[in-house]
Amino acid sequence: MTYIDFYFNVENKFKKIQEILEKEIFRKRKIFISVTDLISAEALSDFLYSESSVLFLPHEIGNHQEKTPIHIDWDHKSVSDDFMINLKPNISTFFSRYLRLIEIVSFDEEDKKTARDRLKFYRDRGYEIQLIDTAKDKQLVS
C-alpha cells in the first residue's frame, strides 16, 4: 500500500523538495517528481542545480534512465515504483503504484483547496496519511 505524506504550510515548495531529496538520496531511492509542464520542470531543475549547498542531486527532465535517481516530468514515465512527489493540483492516475507519495501544499488558498480534495480522496480509500505542518514542525497521523 502507498504511504502518503502531506507537507502543508510550505513557504517554498522547491526548498522543501530539496530537503526531502537530500535525505532520500542516501537511502538510494528512485524518485519521480510530477510537475505540471516543461517550464515547471526546468524551474525545479535550475533550482536544484543552483541551491543545493550540501551535495549534487542528480536528476533528469523527461528522459528517464535507470541510473539517474531523480526524474522530473509532467507525463508519467517513471522507471521505478519507489517514491513520488506530486506538484500537480490533481491526483496522479498512477500514484498507487508507488510505495510512498509526497504532497506539498503552500499557504496559497487555491493550493490548499485542491490539496484538501486530494486528501479527502486518499482518506476515503483508506490510505495511511501523515500530515506534517512545516510551519509548526508537527506531525499528525491520519
Query: Can you read off the three cell numbers belonging to residue 117?
Result: 480534495
Q: Is residue 117 part of a domain?
A: yes
For residue 87, give the nearest of 127, 142, 47, 141 by alpha carbon: 47
Would you place residue 141 in the very low, low, confident or very high pLDDT band (cuts 50, 70, 90)? Answer: low
pLDDT digits (tens, 9 = 90+) for 41-79: 999 988 888 865 556 776 677 766 666 777 888 876 666
- The pLDDT of residue 75: 79
Would you place residue 122 in the very low, low, confident or very high pLDDT band (cuts 50, 70, 90)? Answer: very high
Which domain covers residue 19, as residue numbers?
A: 3-134
Q: Where are the beta strands (DSSP E) in 2-134?
A: 3-10, 31-34, 59-61, 70-73, 83-86, 100-106, 129-133
Helix, strand, coil share of the chain (percent; to 5) = 35, 25, 40
Percent of the chain with pLDDT over 70: 82
pLDDT digits (tens, 9 = 90+) for 77-110: 666 778 999 999 999 888 998 999 999 999 999 9
Q: Is residue 93 part of a domain?
A: yes
Q: Is residue 7 part of a domain?
A: yes
Torsion of CA 40, 28, 99, 132, to 10 degrees: -70
Burial 115-138 (b: 16+ CB within 10 A, else e): beebbeebeeeebebebbebeeee
CA distance 87 to 106: 11
- CATH of residue 52: 3.40.50.10110
Cα 71 to the chain's mean position, in Å?
A: 11
The per-residue pLDDT of the chain, averaged, comes to 85
The total number of structural domains that make up the chain: 1
- The pLDDT of residue 85: 94
- The pLDDT of residue 84: 93
Q: Is residue 46 part of a domain?
A: yes
More confident: 9 or 141: 9
For residue 106, give the nearest of 4, 3, 6, 2 by alpha carbon: 6
Q: Is the pLDDT of residue 142 over 70?
A: no
